[in-house]
Amino acid sequence: MSVSEAPASQAAASRAPAGDVPAGEVPRGSGPVGAGPVSAGSVAAGGRRADRPAELPPPAGLLPAMAAVYRAQLSRVRVARMPLLFVATFQSVGIMVMMRGVVSAGDSAAARAVVAGSSVLVVAFVALNLLAQYFGALRASGGLDHYATLPVPPASVVLGTAAAYASFTVPGTVVTAVAGSLLFALPMAHLWVLVAVVPLAGAALAGLGAALGLLAPRPEFATLLGQLGMSAALLLGVLPTEQMPAPVLWLRDLLPSTYGVEAFAGTFDAAPHWPGVAADLAVCAGVGAVALCIATLAYRRAATR
């Protein structure tokens, strides 16, 4: 071999390993120092992972999400709605004092209706009236967009908020019931039934209030509907039914608060008819379930619009 042929053969030898690299493998020198051989398939897979959007965490369950919404709403309501709760309780006690001038004290149907209706009126004022205004204002201001971005079921927002407003009425309802029992000389042995009356009547009225607030096209209409609902609960729940005409009684039967009033009024008897009380509470529970389902559908439609 001549001297001129030696460099050519050495150059060919130095280029030979690069041609012997197996297909599908990147040469060692092309990657980072010390990285070792990198598979072309892993490079392609890494590119696909980079192009894929980040996965969102799974949505929270109904009960944990509802509990979180309930705690948040209860703290907000306790700060912002305390004066209104005082107004609702003072209003109900004032109505009983006014009715005491025309209804005699003692175990009579009229006295039971006044006390029971005034007690449930506290629930109607907060759970129906204020909740309708809250959801109406929340929808108009775009506040539903905040809840729509959270990984929580729509039902948890409606149920948690309704439960917070309904449970917020417990102190005022108890105060009104005790004051009314003392004012009209009614027995207080069965006031424990408020443990069932308040949540079930509250569920029915809160579901109705949430549905009215979410379905109203404008917040002014939500306020108007909430006020009308509370006024109907006042006029048709507190006044005795002996002198009411039949059309008014039919309208009274359409109100979910009526069955809470009837259930509570029945416990003032010396021997309450507990199956009748349970039937009235079952009606409240059924109305509450239907109203909350309607409110959930209305919330889902309003949040995704």
Q: Residue 115 in contact with residue 268, Cβ under 8 Å?
A: yes
96 burial via Cβ count (<10 Å: 0-12, 13-18, 19+): buried
Give me the pLDDT at residue 54, please: 54
3-state helix, strand, coil in the chain (%, to 5): 75, 0, 25
- AA letter at 191: L
Domain boundaries, the chain: 62-304
Whole-structure pTM value:
0.75
CA distance 37 to 296: 57
Name the token pair of 85.
Answer: 């709760």
Which pLDDT tens digit goes with each residue over 34-43? Answer: 444 544 444 4
Predicted pLDDT at 121: 92
How many Å apart are CA 60 and CA 151, to the nearest integer?
Answer: 6
Task: For residue range 248-277, list pLDDT tens digits in order.
Answer: 889 888 888 899 999 999 999 888 899 999
Q: Which residues contact 142 (CB under 8 A, 6 or more apart)?
A: none
Whether pLDDT at 13 is above 70: no
Token pair for 61: 């369950």
Residue type, 206: A
- Does pLDDT of 52 surpass 90? no
Q: How many whole angstroms separate alpha carbon 164 and alpha carbon 72?
A: 9
What is the residue-averaged pLDDT of the chain? 80
pLDDT over 60 at 31, yes or no = no
